[in-house]
Structure 1
Amino acid sequence: MYSKIAILSSLVLAMFLLSCKKEDDSNTPQPGKGVFIDHGFIPVAVEINPSADIQEAIYSNNKVFVATSDGIWKNDLTTKAWSRSGLEGKRITFIYKHPTIDKKFFAGISPDSNEKTLYVSTDEGQTWTTVESPVYSSQESTYEIYVCMAIHPAKPNIVFANLMGGTTIAVSKDGGNTWHRNNYADDSNFSYPCPIAVIPGNSSQIFQGAEAPLDDAWLATYDINSADPVMLSNFQKVVDMDVWDNRRPNELATFSYTPNTLYVGQEGALSKVTGNQSVFIYKSDEKSTFPYSYIEGIWVDPANTKHILFGGAVNGEQTTLSLYETQDEGKTIAQISDKLGMTEPQVREIIATDSYPAILIKDDIQKKARLVLYKNQ
């Protein structure tokens, strides 16, 4: 038998441990409880990527660079000041930072005339030059439009790009100067623009997400020929409509700290793909209380990969901000719905910085673009 003193001591100890646990729980960051650090609007009326919605902003050396309908703009995260960063007056279709060559950027344009459609900078956007031989369409007598890029994980001079023409992938073997369609094809095919990605843990394949033909959503891989990377073969669907229904992939996100995983932003969903397994982190349907948001921005916390910030926009009126946060990889999700004083706010990109994730938000009604940092509380 326990004595009264022993029982009392046990109760006191249990209450103490419970109080400690409650205190620890209160210090655990709660999704949706963070604060925005405002970095202001681009100081002119602009659209964000009027031709495609895949790669719209990058981070480099404490600055965020944004692709707009009026050239490239950058925000100094220290001063919060906006300034131009080249290609003024041009409609930018994407911007991409080389992952291993410092200060090397690529940017595509939607041309008003028969001009070259791809630019490169080797000085962090201070100067831009057109590449020698972008992909050219003899049928249309124009250079084709580029919408996104990926770099070979083991060979930094091998560059892949998806063209506006649907599932056609272009390949450069000389760092982005001269280009060929995959398998040296003469023409491109056409569908919705498709995102591509290579994951750090796999240097032998390239991933592509698509809705091609119409109402057929999938994620697939191509094998990269080691002798000639222009040759892409063995097309294999990793995920198709049996798993995704018709949720078109809009964004493929990869991170060095999740080297074998692909995060896929979709129509009304966010999926995590590892190997041949795809699981929904977020899925909006008739059972969900969340809006049917087309996910365009994805950030995974390097300190806790279950902590994910993601967002996009609904196909229609934006009655709330479509920004979401989870601390447990989707088991619990909070929507951050504050429109931040904007009329039709749409999350277009979420990118890592050296401090907090940066969120690019556009408003088509006001023709404004705003940058905020999100500090999780």
Structure 2
Amino acid sequence: MSIDDADFFKFSKEVNLRKSDFYEAYEDLNNSVNDPSNHENAWNQITPPCKFIPLGLFSKIRKNVNYLGNIEDVDIRKNRCSYYKLWIYEQMREIIRSKQGVSVSDVINEFVKVHNSIIKGKETIYRCELTFYEYNMDYLIFLIEQRHLDNYFKNFESIKNSIHCGNTKIDKYEKYFNKINDLYRKHSEEEECCDTWGQTDCFDYFKCDSDFKPSEINLKLECDSQTPPQVTNEVIKPHANQQTLIFGTSESSDSFMQGVPESTPFVSEVSDVLPQEATDSPTILELLYNILSSHASAGILVASIIGTILFFFFYFRSTSSRSRGRKKARKKKKYNDYFDEMNISELSTDETESVYIYTPSNRLYMVYHPT
């Protein structure tokens, strides 16, 4: 699956969720400006000149950054900044994919340089910097994953409420939720976003509440896509000289038996006269024995397969848990070392006090006999 499968903008177009705030904002971010020449002077002042960002894209970036600077409400500006970051990350990725042999770090550096040149001096949008700790494709994809998860949580209710029985686009939902579920597991387990030591790194894009789990929505999709089974009465055709054997109710057997109360379960009696072939067939006990024997063999085979799967599952789970435990231990050790140093410094500054302990002494008299 591609990272694009988790793109809410693409998904909302496919399932008609265009009324969401994110869709409208993202569409506005991608709209071209009426006259790019108005931004040409600022584009020419970028030093060194832009190699990857053309004038049309530069004018969009400048338009979007200036729009951010005019938003006074902090929460609205924060959401708009989140949408803007996803949009500009996607522009970086598109240029990297379209130009073979291009240096990823050079492309990222140019976008950061252009963004900083526009945002410079705009104190109202100081919280919308583009921060890269690594200038490579893996880290860029990691940042895009964060924005996709953030959009999933922000639009969770509208997505959930749009799912209903008879929806002809269930396959679009399943494709989106399968990818979101992969990202959810990755960031909750590998990135430890729901761990005590990792929540501070993920607070701006991840929610650990179990109600937001994509797997719960997958269950809802499965329930909505199921169709009730059709119930039919099974009729076994008789041999020669044998009455029909019917499983069901008396309503379906009025033409065969009379006097049976309605809706009473029954099995019709079989004629005492059996065909000659029946005498050569195995007895009921033999048939039951053969069935049970074959089922027992199959059961042993299935049990062995399940046992093998469970063994490897718990083995890899214990291995991964030990790995996570080492990560937590390293993080915890930093805190423990810090507090140990604090305690030692406090103890070293404490002055020792001399304490006089009174111990009464009693004289011992002994009789001495000189020889």
Q: TM-score, normalised to structure 2's length? A: 0.23
- Structure with a larger share of its residues in helix: 2
- Structure with a larger share of its residues in strand: 1
Q: Bigger radius of gyration, 1 or 2? A: 2
